[in-house]
Structures are given as structure tokens and as C-alpha cells.
Amino acid sequence: MGQLMVTRALGEGAGPTGARPGTSGGGGVQSCTYERRPTQEFAQVMYAVNWELIDRLGLDHAAMAGQTALVTGGARGIGEGVATTLAALGARVVVVDKRPTGQAVVDAIVAAGGEAQFIECDLSVVDELMAMLPRAVAAFGQLDILVNNALHAPIAPLVNLELAEWEETFATNARAPFLIIKHLLPGMIERRRGVVVNMIAYEGSPLAVAYAGTKMALRSMAFSVAREIGNESGVAVFSFVPGIVDTPLMREDLLPPMAAVLGLSIEQATAVAAQNPGYDGMMPVDHCATALAHAIVHGAEHHGQVADPFEPLDRIGVIQMPRLDPAEAPALLDVSGPQSGLYIKQYLGDVTTRSRDLEERVALRTRELDAARKRSDSLLLNILPAPIAERLKAGESMIADHFTGVTVLFADIVDFTPISSRLSPERAVDVLDAVFSEFDRIAGHYELEKIKTIGDCYMAVGGLPEPQADHAERVANAALEMLPALTRVGKWLDLPLKVRIGLQTGDAVAGVIGRQKFVYDLWGDTVNTASRMESHGVGDRIQCTERLYRLLGDRFTFVPRGEVDIKGKGLMPTYFLVGSR
């Protein structure tokens, strides 16, 4: 029986390793042809990453960076393709296969600049499998992605199938994935990150009863595990049905015995087997492997479901799938044509999974929207008072309120401009952050509303957005705490820091301005006068107006400063707040 040698016509900069464009090895597959070769002339040609398809599917070239994948059956075919593609997208890959040619896959990945290790292991042998698992975990420290791709597929009618073949098929296709998932899943759940993919097959495949039966068990296993861990574990578990893919497994291992059993030529057997929607024959490996990588990247969307390569490839126009309206009566289904199984699968799949699929997707979108809402609320509360944020969310387009009793505080770091000129930009920002963080703590303690910082000046107010009968007392106490707080910060930073603080009490208008960037601000004569109290003040002193002195004079200690010529106000009697009684 002749073997098939893959020869690829590579474009400029392309190479057999499937490296990213611009790295050693070059780009993706431009075309793929098959030539019949005698067995002794067969040589392995390494998989080439299809970067064009990756880009059309919208995958980031670093989508898998920082993650580690274990791919069983990774020495050839779909396993080789997905291992190489995941590595090209930044993943570290552990390839497991009983064929020693898996080392060539790893060597190609490493030559292209990726990270990979090969472990030779017969997964049907429990002792080998259990010895492989700790080695796989130790290879890169942890495993985030598991692709159960290894398979054994004897071709024979059920009555001719030997028990030994059934047992090896079960051991490879079902028991091995069970043991690997059992070993790796707890770590994924603990880290709240992971993807488990079980590669399955069409149900009821003729002449492949052991293969189809164990692959359906693998599908049920993925569904059960997904339900066990729920939707909030951070781990996605799903099945992937690849269709009929043009792999060495098909060409060398499955089609020849199938043709012999059916009394057909290889070409006739290929036509019978290769019934893929959207394809005139078998699916190219790179189409399947890239679509599988896409499903892994978007694993949360497929949790508890069965993914396939056809939907994403159809969506971006690579193929065009036949359309069947699921609302049509079952009697209208074509059950006699060559694609009858696919039509029935599509119809039954739509009917039986639509509700669960919708529920899962709604749940996922709800979680995403809830997380986005929480992030949005958190950002909004960083720039707006909580009551104002709630009013904006409720739909108010114009927020402007008049307050008859508020007390405004301005605090400015004295001579910060010459101080900062001697500091690096990073150091200057660190100083302001340390000072204003301490002021934020004090303002929060007295339930004041921080309005903004302007350069090295800090503005806060008491009595809004919720009225406070003791707003003046709260602001006075906060100001008195700010003086020693700044002294402490200055000692920590080994800088001569002083602060001028100005206070005034009275009426003000507060509201939200802006449409793209919201700002909650304060206006009025009270604000202007408080600002003048600060700018015409003295370092390490709290200057306030006569109005505030008369309001708090029985509870706090003041020292008269005398009349000060205040810009825009003229001569005004002012006082220094020095303590509480």
C-alpha cells in the first residue's frame, strides 16, 4: 500500500516549523498537495501554522502566553497541529505520544522559538501513564490546558472485533483521559484557571464500534465533569468533534482496512468516509487545529458543550455549511443522501441542545456583564460620590444641587514646585501619592467628600452630597489632623514638607460636569474664599474666616491674625485654627 507524503508550497519567509512571521521558521501554509509515494520513501514533514487563518479568526498572537498545555497523541495529525499552534500562540507545550516521532514535533517547536517537551508514553498502560503525569506537570511547573487527543481506532464489524482490541481501545480512548483529568483537574480548580478538551467522534460510525463507543463515553465524561464543577470554577470542560480530517491516521490506518472490509478502492472509501459539511472531501489539518485552538482560547463559551471546527470556519467565510431550518418537520430531513448523518446530527443537535446552549451562553454573558458592571461601578465611585453615581445610573442627565451649609477645605504643599524640581518624576509622584493618600484617610475618617487635587493642592468639603449638621466641626478636626500627618510623611520621605490650609463655611453649588469624563465639582463664593484663605495663608497654619470662627469659636481654639488683604475681597479679618477645646 502506497504512503502519502505531504508537500507544502510555502510562501516567502515560510518554513516547515510553523514559526511566527519574523522568527526562525517563517509563516503559514499557502497550499497543500498530496503525492503518492512508496512506503520506504515516506518522510515526516512538520506541520506549518496557518497564520492567515489565525488572524481571520481574530486570535491574538500571544493568546496562550503564560499557559502550559498537555496534548496527548501529539506526534502527528490533529495533535501535532494543535500542539504546534498553541506553541505558536505562546503556550508551553508537553507532547505525549507512544510514537518516538513526537520528539520531532517538539524539536520543530523549539527551533521556531517555542517551549516544548516530549514524553514517550503508551497511554493504554496504566503504569506508564501514571509515571508520565508527574513528569508532565514538572516539565513547566503546572498544566493549564489538557487536550485528550490520543486514540486507538480498530476497523472491523462488531462480530469480528477481538476483545484485546476492545480493551486497548477503551484503555486509550476512555480510561487514559479519565485518569489524566482526575490528576490535573484539582490543580486547575485551585488556580481557578484551566481548559479540558476531550476529542470525540460521530456517534454510530460503522466498522468502528469500539472507537465510536469509547468516544461517546468521552463526550459524556466531559459533560458530567462540567456539571460537577459548575460554571464558576474558572475551568472550562468541553468536547470537540473534529469531523473527518486529512491526517496520517485516516490515510494510513483507517482508510485501507475500511476499503478492504467494504470491497472498495481507497478513493471510493475516501468518498464514503469524508462527509464534512462545507468541504468536498476531508478537512485540512490546519483548519481543524486552528479552529480547535480558537475553541480553547474561548473555552468558557463551550463549557459543558460540544464544539466543532465548522461553525467558526463557516462564520468567517472559509467554508459554507449547508443550512437546515430546525423549525422544519423531521419528515423533511434528507435521510438518504450521502450527508444524511450530518443533517440528522444537525437537526437533533439543534433540538436537544438549544435550551442548554442558550442557558450556558446567557449565564456566561450574565457573568461577564456583572463583572463589567462591577468594574464600571468601581471606577465611577472613584470619581463620584456614591449617591451622585446612583443618580447618574438612574438616568439623571443634569445634576446640580444647592447646599446652604457646607465647609470647604483647601490644603497646599508649600514650595512643592522647587522641591519637585530636585526630584525625578517618579519620586515627585511618589511624594504626592504619599501625602494625598494620608489626606484621603483623614477625610474618609470624618466622612468628608474629596473633590479633587489640583497639582499639589488638595480640596475636600463637609456637608455634601448628604447634609451634615456638624460639617464645620468635621472639617476643622480633619484640618488639625492634616498638619501632623504631613510632618510624619515628610520625615518618612526625608523632605521638608509644610502645608497651608484654608477653610470657609457657607453656601455652595455642586454638580456633575462632562459627558465622556465625569467630574463632581463645587462652585460659589464659599469655595473661592476658602481657596483665598489657603493661598494667603502661612505654612503649617490653618487660616479661616471670621464666619467660621464665630461658628466654632466655643468648641475650638483660634488665634486672631488680623486683617489680611485678600485678592478679590479686600481687607478681611482672619483667624488661625490651632486646636479643639
Residue type, 472: A
pLDDT surpasses 80 at 510: yes
Arithmetic mean of pLDDT, 233-259: 91
> Where are the chain's structural domains?
47-245+282-320, 339-383, 395-580
Q: Please give the grid coordinates belonging to residue 335.
A: 435521510
Check residue 23 and give its pLDDT: 33
Q: Which of 436, 415, 425, 401 has its CA nearest to residue 510?
A: 401
CA distance 7 to 44: 10
Q: Which of 553, 555, 551, 546 has its CA nearest to residue 581?
A: 555
pLDDT in tens, 9-32: 222 222 323 333 333 333 332 222
Strand 499-513 to 400-413 pairing: antiparallel
Same fold across 47-245+282-320 and 395-580: no
What architecture (CATH level 2) is domain 47-245+282-320? 3-Layer(aba) Sandwich (3.40)
Q: Report whether 184 contacts 132 (CB < 8 A).
A: no
Q: Where are the extended beta strands (E) located within 320-399?
A: none
Check residue 8 and give its pLDDT: 27
Of 49-53, 355-359, 397-401, the poorest mean pLDDT is in: 355-359
CA distance 280 to 302: 27
CA distance 409 to 401: 19
Reduced to 3 states (helix: H, G, I; strand: E, B; else coil), residue 196 is: strand
pLDDT surpasses 50 at 165: yes
CA distance 101 to 97: 8
Q: Which residues contact 270 (CB under 8 A, 6 or more apart)?
A: 255, 281, 282
CA distance 484 to 191: 45
Q: Please give the grid coordinates belonging to residue 210.
A: 469500539
CA distance 490 to 379: 30
Q: Residue 485 is inside which H or E element, if any?
A: helix 471-493
Looking at residue 321, the DSSP 8-state letter turns out to be P
Q: Report whether 237 contacts 225 (CB < 8 A).
A: yes
Task: State the first-to-last Cα distance of the chain, in angstroms, to the nearest integer.
Answer: 104
Q: Report whether 413 contacts 499 (CB < 8 A).
A: yes
Q: Report whether 547 contacts 553 (CB < 8 A).
A: no
Q: Please give the grid coordinates belonging to residue 462.
A: 463637609
Check residue 166 and give its pLDDT: 93
Q: Please give the grid coordinates belonging to residue 568.
A: 478679590
Arithmetic mean of pLDDT, 501-525: 85
Arithmetic mean of pLDDT, 163-169: 94
pLDDT in tens, 65-102: 999 999 999 999 999 999 999 999 999 999 999 999 99
CA distance 82 to 144: 15
**Residue 306 exposure: Cα atoms within 13 Å on the Cβ side:** 22
Helices (H) and strands (E) in the chain, counts: 20, 17
Beta-bridge partners for 459: 410, 452
Task: Report the share of the chain in percent with pLDDT over 70.
Answer: 83
Higher per-residue confidence, 12 vs 573: 573
CA distance 49 to 15: 10
Round the average pLDDT of the chain to a whole number and report it.
83
Is the whole-model pTM more than 0.75?
A: no
469 exposed, middle or buried (CB, 10 Å; 0-12, 13-18, 19+)? exposed
Q: Which residues contact 570 (CB under 8 A, 6 or more apart)?
A: none
Q: Report whether 32 contacts 284 (CB < 8 A).
A: yes
299 pLDDT tier (thresholds 50, 70, 90): very high
- Cβ-based neighbour number of residue 219 at 10 Å: 19
Residue type, 110: V
Tell me the angle at which helices 266-273 and 255-262 cross, rounded to the nearest 10 degrees.
100
What superfamily would CATH give domain 395-580?
Answer: Nucleotide cyclase, GGDEF domain (3.30.70.1230)
CA distance 95 to 105: 8
Q: Which of 345, 181, 231, 221 has its CA nearest to residue 277?
A: 345
